[in-house]
A and B are shown apart, each in its own frame.
Chain A
Amino acid sequence: MSLRSGPPLPRRKPPAPEPSSPLVRRRPETFKSEALRAGILSLLFLLVLIGIWHVATLQKEQPAGANDEYAKLMGKGAVKTTGFPTPAQMGETALKQLSDPFYDKGPNDKGIGVQLGFSLARVGLGFALAALVAIPLGFVIGMSPLIYRALDPFIQVLKPISPLAWMPLALYTIKDSSISGIFVIFICSVWPMLLNTAFGVAGVRREWLNVAKTLEVNAVRKAFLVILPAAAPTIMTGMRISMGIAWLVIVAAEMLVGGTGIGYFVWNEWNNLSLTNVIFAILMIGVVGMLLDLVFGRLQKFVTYVE
């Protein structure tokens, strides 16, 4: 909403289309100040969190004593750390990783951007395949109560299976770890989209279909111009849920499959005992997941209509 200048009306009016309505005019202002305050509060929380982290990982001075020699033998100095990285170390790692995210120095040393790219490509491919299957099938299920009833037992049994449980079967039949990863993404993102599409299509208002009927609209036109836009908000909700699940699953899948991807990166850095990199990767997973959700949130807003 943009700020419009205009004479403020004396009385509050319901949200009318008039741009000079006081509600429309005032809302961004209050919203803005609240957003500002919330932002400041968020920043404060972050600082407190980092502060606690910093204190918890403070280096402890150790009195010189009998252990000195032992410590030296172990290749450590007199200073003992808790092992958990400090915020400063984290910052250093993050800066290093982010300054060169796309380097590729062999199978076990790739930049964070490259690894995230692999994961995103797998998620994107698996998700797209799932959408290609789930949305048309959901249309059919939503239109036909008979097919819904016939397929319901299958869906109910298949839906609660952890997508990773499919992994051995996928590896055995597909014989390619990368494609198996994509398959796992496919299988986990297909259900929310399928069910939401079916639900949305089944719930299209009778009167809109009647309008199409009286206008002798053919089936294809009806599907694309009436049912799809009518069910789009529900379908998009399903897609958003699917994407969330897919991003959760990809990390686990790549830990299993190995090779490339952010999940593999996390596991590899754990094997390297590089906790700073593990923590950094965890943060990146969170940030990318948030961005994905943001994109689908925007798409959802785009197709939502007010009745």
Chain B
Amino acid sequence: MAFLDIQGLSRRYAGRDGKLFAVFEDVSFHIDKGEFVCIVGHSGCGKTTILNVLAGLDQASAGVVVMDNREVAGPSLDRGVVFQGHALMPWLSVMKNIAFSVKSRWPEWNRTEVSLHCQKYIDLVGLTGAEQKKPSELSGGMKQRVGIARAFAIQPKMLLLDEPFGALDALTRGVIQDELLKICAAMHQTVFMITHDVDEAILLADKILLMSNGPGAAIAEIVVNTMPRSRTRNDIHHDPQYYRIRNHLVDFLVNRSKRFQSGTGGERPKQPPVVRPGLEIDASPLQSRVQSASDKVTPLVVNRKH
């Protein structure tokens, strides 16, 4: 069994007319330990709702989430969340914001233990020297670093990031992306992240979940990032795979995401197809790229550069 297993997850809300309407329907996927998974899709397709269900902040209408052989029901310190709007407490300093989560995780620790632990994560995200600053004195990028440090500091089994870099300028975003990648690699962190940014997904993710448009959204495809994990922002675009994957993702978002909408498809596969567009040499028709999840052992896997 995979580290995180999501089976037949649905979330329905009662509409104004009393009829139920599904944000997403029958979503199934899994995440392995140490894997970095991004979910990409248009606004309103229920990405944040999925993340909230994983975080335990929202309840699914149907389906189960199993993490580490235990069902996810309600929030837990095993899952650290980095919120979209950083969600720092403005009355607490950087150090105290992180200490709040550390004390929640290890209530038995004394003050020195807590502050040493916090300092370690403050240093990790490059905020040394800003410990006593209030969030209002920090730039957007620094605030989000604090948010990341706060989530990492509780050493969660899994990290959930809800569009953490959405509000940042491109330069800051790039720097923090690199740092996040470094930290995740060093800690073998399992990550589930929402993003709108295709390039961000390609840089960070091992696996990109493509979500169709809502209502009744579903995972349409799972794109495996076949580029080596040592990729960096500076050299990623030299790899010919990058453009193939990018074109595939953009093509999905622009053209194909609508087609998966509920009602039009009807016969949706239980498990979304797993594709590896990076390894396709020519831009052949879609059909040849799509492999069903069942035949995981394909010659393409052998070609992965690791």
Contact = CB atoms under 8 A, between A and B. Distances in A.
B89 interface: yes
Contact of B89 (A17, A208, A216): A208
Contacts of B101: 211, 215
B3 interface: no
B114 to A, nearest CB: 14
Contacts of A223: none
B100 A305 contact: no
A305 B134 contact: yes
A contact patch SS: helix
B237 interface: no
Interface in A216-235: 216-217, 221, 225-226, 229-230, 232
Interface in B104-144: 104-105, 133-137
Nearest to B101: A215
Interface residues of A, number: 21
Contacts of A230: 89, 91
Contact of B136 (A205, A208, A306): A306
Highest count of chain B CB atoms <10 Å: which of A215, A216, A305, A307: A215
Nearest to A225: B100
B87 A208 contact: yes
B44 interface: no
Interface stretch (B77-85, B223-231, B258-266): B77-85
B55 interface: yes
Contact of A226 (B57, B80, B89, B135): B89
A207 interface: yes
A56 B224 CA distance: 93
Contacts of A232: 91
Given A213-B56, A215-B101, A207 B83 contact: yes
A211 B154 CA distance: 12
Contact of A217 (B55, B57, B104, B134): B104
Contact of A216 (B104, B136, B137): B104
Contacts of A173: none
B269 interface: no
B76 interface: yes
A33 interface: no
Nearest to A206: B87
Nearest to A306: B136
A82 interface: no
Contacts of B55: 210, 214
A307 B90 contact: yes
B85 A207 contact: yes
A139 to B, nearest CB: 17
A225 B103 CA distance: 12
Nearest to A215: B104
B75 interface: yes
Nearest to B92: A229
Contacts of B89: 208, 211, 226, 229-230
Contacts of A226: 89
B134 A210 contact: no
A216 B87 contact: no
A303 to B, nearest CB: 8
Contact of B83 (A210, A229, A306): A210
Contacts of B56: 213-214
Interface of B: 55-57, 75-77, 79-81, 83, 85, 87, 89-92, 100-101, 104-105, 133-137, 154
Given A208-B87, A211-B87, A305-B91, 19 more contacts: A207-B83, A207-B87, A208-B89, A210-B87, A213-B56, A214-B75, A214-B76, A214-B81, A215-B77, A215-B100, A217-B104, A226-B89, A229-B91, A229-B92, A230-B89, A230-B91, A305-B134, A306-B90, A307-B136
24 contacts: A205-B87, A207-B87, A210-B55, A210-B87, A211-B81, A211-B89, A213-B56, A213-B75, A214-B56, A214-B76, A214-B80, A215-B77, A215-B100, A216-B77, A216-B104, A221-B104, A225-B100, A229-B91, A230-B89, A230-B91, A305-B90, A307-B90, A307-B135, A307-B136
Q: Which 10 A-B pairs have the closest CB atoms?
A: A306-B136, A207-B87, A215-B104, A305-B91, A305-B90, A214-B75, A213-B75, A229-B91, A214-B81, A307-B90
